[in-house]
Each structure stands twice: as C-alpha cells, then as structure tokens.
C-alpha cells in the first residue's frame, strides 16, 4: 500500500490529467501522525515525487526541501477545526467556476453521480489565496458540506476516507457542472428558436 506522500503525488497527477488543475495549480494533503503531508508550492503538479512533499505539524511548524503550498494554512486550519478529516484536495474546476460565476448552481439531488459529493455544495466568497479569511470561510463551509466552491478560484473537498474520495467528489462536481452548462446553452438555443 503506497504511503501518504506517494498518494499525494498520484492524486495531483490524476487531477492534472483530468483538467481540474493547471501545471502549478491546486494542492492536496493527507493527515498522518502529529500533522499532515502537503504538496509543495510552485513545482509542476503532474511530476511531483514523494520526496517533494512537506510535513506540517498541527502547531504550524513545517519541514521539507520545498516551501509548502501557499494554501497550507487552509489545510492546517481544516485539520485543527474539523474532526476526523483524513485528506483535503483543492482544485480549480473550470466548468464549475463558469457555472457558479454565471450565477447558476447545482442541485446534487438531481444527479446520481452526485453521490460522492453528498447532499450539498457550499459556496465561499472570493477571498485572497492563502489568507486566513479564506481558510475561515472554507471551514465554515466544510462543516456543512463535503465540497465547497470557492468563487473566482476553484473548489475544495475534505474527506474522512482516502484522498481519492475527495478527488471523486471534485470530479463529479466538474462533470455535473459541465452537464448543467451544456443544458443552459441548449436551453438558450431552444429559446431563440421559439422567439
Ligand atoms: Zn487555488
């Protein structure tokens, strides 16, 4: 069974290949021991190696050969504030952003695939990446829902299971967003035809 650092490298490669992040975007972490492993800042996310991961203790001290992701404070605060979280994944879902930035949203109850998202999707206002304010709003959101959309930014999922459960939720979010967007476009076409 691969360890947390191998799993982080794999999940980032999958998220990149799936178009959920660009080469230097997104971040992920997995809880272990006194703290958690988190992806490093800046390095290409499709070729991370286990040794690139940074270990962050719950007291905020970190060690590693790279700086931790700019969002490591958000991961740290999530583990401190919400019980039993085992992993956190943050991506930049383009279709989800297009949908929510257009003032539309998803009703997960409408889609079988939303099973992995759970019953709700929280929405967080646009706040600077890496800020404490963003971390606080994300915690508020993740107390209610497994997945939160970050306006002007992307999405985040926290899991009490393995990190692939978080990836599954963010993939489902992106796929359903795509369906909703296509539906909106087709509806406009139908509307134009009849007027
Ligand atoms: Zn981001």
Top pLDDT among 195 and 80 is at 80
- Contacts of residue 182, defined as CB under 8 A and 6 or more positions apart, other chains included, come to none
Q: Locate the domains of the chain by residue range.
A: 4-193
Q: How confident is the model at residue 33, as a pLDDT?
A: 96
Under a CB-based contact definition with an 8 Å cutoff, are residues 148 and 159 in contact?
A: no
Asked if pLDDT for residue 189 goes beyond 80, the answer is no
Q: How far is the CA of 59 from the centre of ligand 1 (A)?
A: 23
In this predicted structure, the answer to whether residue 48 has a pLDDT above a threshold of 90 is: yes
Centroid of ligand 1 to alpha carbon of 25 (angstroms):
6
pLDDT above 80 (res 106): yes
- Whole-model pTM: value is 0.95
The string of DSSP letters for 108-124 reads: GGG-GGGGGT-S-EEEE
The mean pLDDT of 72-85, rounded to a whole number, is: 96
Mean pLDDT, rounded, for 13-29: 97
pLDDT at 172: 97
The residues, any chain, with a CB within 8 Å of residue 128's CB and separated by 6 or more, are 134
pLDDT value at residue 19: 97
Residue 106 to residues 21, 31, 40, 115, 144, Cα–Cα distance (Å): 21, 30, 32, 13, 16
Q: Which residues contact 40 (CB under 8 A, 6 or more apart)?
A: 48, 52, 53, 54, 64, 66, 67, 68, 69
Q: What's the CA-to-centroid distance between 24 and ligand 1, angstroms?
A: 9
**What number does CATH give the domain 4-193?**
3.40.225.10
Could you read off the pLDDT of 138-165 as tens digits, one per residue? 999 999 999 999 999 999 999 999 999 9
pLDDT in the model for residue 192: 81
Mean pLDDT of the chain: 95
CA of 51 to the centre of ligand 1 (A): 22
Q: How far is the CA of 92 from the centre of ligand 1 (A)?
A: 6
């Amino acid at each position: 069974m691969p360890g947390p650092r191998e799993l982080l490298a794999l999940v980032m490669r999958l998220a990149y290949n799936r178009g959920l992040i660009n080469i230097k975007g997104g971040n992920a972490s997995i809880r272990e021991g006194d703290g958690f492993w988190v992806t490093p800042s800046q390095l290409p996310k499709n070729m991370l190696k286990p040794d690139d991961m940074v270990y962050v203790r719950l007291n905020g001290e970190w060690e590693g050969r790279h700086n931790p992701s700019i969002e490591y404070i958000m991961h740290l605060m999530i583990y401190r504030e919400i019980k039993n979280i085992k992993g956190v994944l943050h991506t930049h879902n383009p279709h989800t952003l297009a949908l929510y930035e257009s003032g539309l949203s998803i009703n997960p109850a409408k889609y079988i695939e939303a099973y992995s998202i759970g019953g709700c999707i929280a929405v967080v206002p646009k706040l600077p990446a890496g800020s404490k304010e963003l971390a606080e709003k994300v915690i508020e959101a993740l107390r209610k829902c497994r997945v939160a959309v970050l306006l002007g930014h992307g999405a985040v999922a926290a899991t009490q299971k393995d990190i692939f459960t978080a990836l599954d939720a963010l993939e489902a979010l992106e796929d359903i967003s795509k369906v909703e967007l296509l539906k909106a476009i087709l509806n406009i076409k139908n509307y134009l035809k009849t007027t």
